Structure formats: structure tokens, C-alpha cells
Amino acid sequence: MAQQESSHSGVTTGVAESAAKIKANMEKVLVGKGGVIELTLAAILSGGHILIEDVPGIGKTMLARSLASSLDCSFKRIQFTPDLMPSDITGIHYYNQKTGEFEFRPGPIIAQVVLADEINRATPRTQSALLEAMGERQLTVDGVTMILPAPFMVLATQNPIELEGTFPLPEAQLDRFLLRLRLGYPMEEEEDAILTRFHTGDPLAELEPVATGPEIAEFQEAIREIHFEPVLRNYVVQLVQATRCHPDVELGASPRATMGLYRCSQALAAIRGREYVVPDDVKTLAPYALSHRIILKSQARLRDRTSDSVVDEILSQIAVPV
């Protein structure tokens, strides 16, 4: 028993130390975004994907690129447009006249960190090309299935203000995103620090990796050992169940949301140097893991209700286990 506890402690220490290095490295580029970086690390350690919903120029691309550079992972960016085809994402088989055989030309989805920029500008048919990759970590093209590299993470962005020429993400697509984040505008002193930092060069170009993809894949397995009290596990279930019976909700969060919140809470606990999950881990993550999965009734929307306010209300009503 003592040996098992020592092993868990070593895993937790390794995750916490590595996460601290990655966070410090990314903060060389991103100013004042420590909380967002921590949530991003929790998502990748729990094998999840992130939807970043914010206005242009906030640093969404910087977040994805600095994460890939810090992890020494392959990075691809897909600029979603109305004329983008599914094959532009997945890749195609083409006939090579020199060899006389069909060969596969991989698409940008075959990378470890994929930035799906302005995902809601593409048609639903093109958006659906991401579903298998995000859900099963594999890709099927012309009947041939390929396993995607590990770790694999999609960071998608969308502009919440601009609606013309956009296609809302369907429920099935939204449900595959573990967290929905917003970076927000920087404070005055933070914006001044950005100007100072980028005055003489580009910190992103000078960023060196501080962890590797195989290490992250190893940590993804290790966080499963983080202790989760049964009473706290039931708290997670109660939160998700409450989204399904709330009077203002048409469609509540799915079992995938329950599993995502559970696993992400384990990752956040490990990042914070603990071998066990506490209620604050769950409460921190719940708004980011549940609100985008909730569809409100039309009457609730007319009353200016939001999914964020519904989740906040649920958190305030359900007793936190002690």
C-alpha cells in the first residue's frame, strides 16, 4: 500500500512539475493568461479538445502555437472557409503516374495539435470531417482507417459576434469539445507588457520545447490514478443530471460531458500537485465543460437567459460534498 501511494505521489509530482514548466514557457508569449493556460493543459492531459470563442486578435492562434512549440509537437492550422471541402482536411488518395499506384496525401488533420480557425465559417458537411478524428482519434479515408498521432488535440476558434456567412456548430460537434474557453481583453498593464515583450522580436519564434509528446501521452494514462472520492463522483453526476431537468433547458449535457468533467478534474488536481480531486476542481471546470453543451428553450432565450447563467445557478443550488 505504501509503495502504491509512493508511486502515485511520483506521478503527481511529475505531472505538476512538467505542467509548471509548460505554463511558464507559454507565458513567455501569452501575457496574463495563466488561468486559460492551466485549463488548456488540463484539457490536453485528459485527452480533450477546446473551443475558443472570442473576438479576433485576442491571441487564440498564439495559444495553440505556443502549446505545440512547448510540447515539441507537430502543429497544423486549418483556415475554415465556406468553400473548404472535407478532403482538404482529411487528405486524399491520388494516382502517382511515376509509380503507377495510388498514394495517400495526408491532410492537415494528421498532426498532434490542430488549430481549426473560424470553424463556424465552413459548411456542416466540412465541419463533420472532424467528428471521427475528435471522437475516436482515428481517420477513415476511402475505407482506409489511420490512427492519429498521440497526443492529439483540436483547438477550434469561432467569433461570437460575426454571424453573417457562418454556420452554427451542431450539437454533435459541440459535444466533442471538452472545454469552451474565452481569453478576454487584456488589462491596461497587461497590454503594455505585450508591447514591451514584442518590441524587439517575436517570443514565439524563440520558444523552445520543455516537454515531449510521449511524455504527455504517458501523463494522460497516469492521471487516471488520481483519487476521486465516490461522494465527489456523485456530485459530478448530480451537476450533469441537473442540466437535463432544468426548466429552462431543452437539451442537457451528455454522458460524454460527465466523463469529460470527471477526467478533466483528475488532470487539474494533478497539475495542482494533488493525488486526489477536491470539490473546487469540479466547480472550476463545470462552467467550461457544461455550458456549451446546453441548448436553452426559446422562451428562456427570450428572457435573455444564457447557458452560463444556468450552470452558475445549478452550481449554487447543488450542495457541495464536504
Query: pLDDT digit string (tens) for 173-183?
Result: 889 999 999 98
pLDDT of 238: 96
Domain-terminating residue out of 225, 248, 281: 225
Question: What pLDDT is attached to residue 4?
Answer: 47
Same domain for 291 and 239: yes
Beta strands per DSSP E along the chain: 50-53, 75-79, 91-96, 101-106, 113-117, 138-141, 144-147, 153-158, 179-181, 249-251, 295-296
The three cell numbers of residue 316 are 449554487
Q: 216 and 239: one domain?
A: no
Each residue's pLDDT tens digit, 27-78: 999 988 999 999 999 999 999 999 998 888 888 888 988 999 999 888 999 9
177 and 298 housed in the same domain: no
Do 170 and 301 have their domain in common?
no
CB of 58 within 8 A of CB of 190?
Answer: no
Q: Is there a single domain that holds both residue 87 and residue 221?
A: yes
Q: Are residues 115 and 251 in the same domain?
A: no
Tell me: do 271 and 191 sit in the same domain: no
Q: What is the CATH number of the domain that holds 169?
A: 3.40.50.300
Q: Are residues 106 and 249 in the same domain?
A: no
175 and 234 within one domain: no
Residues 301 and 202 placed together within one structural domain of the fold: no
**Domains: count for the chain:** 2
Q: Are strands 153-158 and 113-117 parallel, antiparallel or unpaired?
A: parallel
Residue 311's CATH number:
1.10.8.80
Q: Which residue has the higher pLDDT, 94 or 77?
A: 77
pLDDT (tens digit per residue) in 106-155: 889 999 999 999 898 888 888 888 888 898 888 888 888 888 988 999 99
For residue 73, the enclosing domain spans: 2-225
The answer on pLDDT for 11 being more than 60 is yes
pLDDT of residue 169: 83
Q: What is the pLDDT of residue 9?
A: 60
User: What pLDDT score was predicted for residue 2?
Assistant: 41
Q: Using an 8 Å Cβ cutoff, are 288 and 181 in contact?
A: yes
Q: Answer with the one of 225, 246, 274 that is the final residue of a domain.
A: 225
Pairing relationship of beta strands 295-296 and 153-158 according to DSSP bridges: unpaired
The reply to whether 79 and 192 lie within a common domain is yes
Cell, residue 5: 501511494
Confidence label for 161 from pLDDT (cuts 50, 70 and 90): low
Query: Where does a domain end: 197, 225, 253?
Result: 225
Residues 245 and 211 in one domain: no
Span 244-252, mean pLDDT?
A: 93
Residue-level pLDDT at 3: 43
In angstroms, rounded to a whole number, what is the distance separating the alpha carbons of residues 116 and 80? Answer: 7
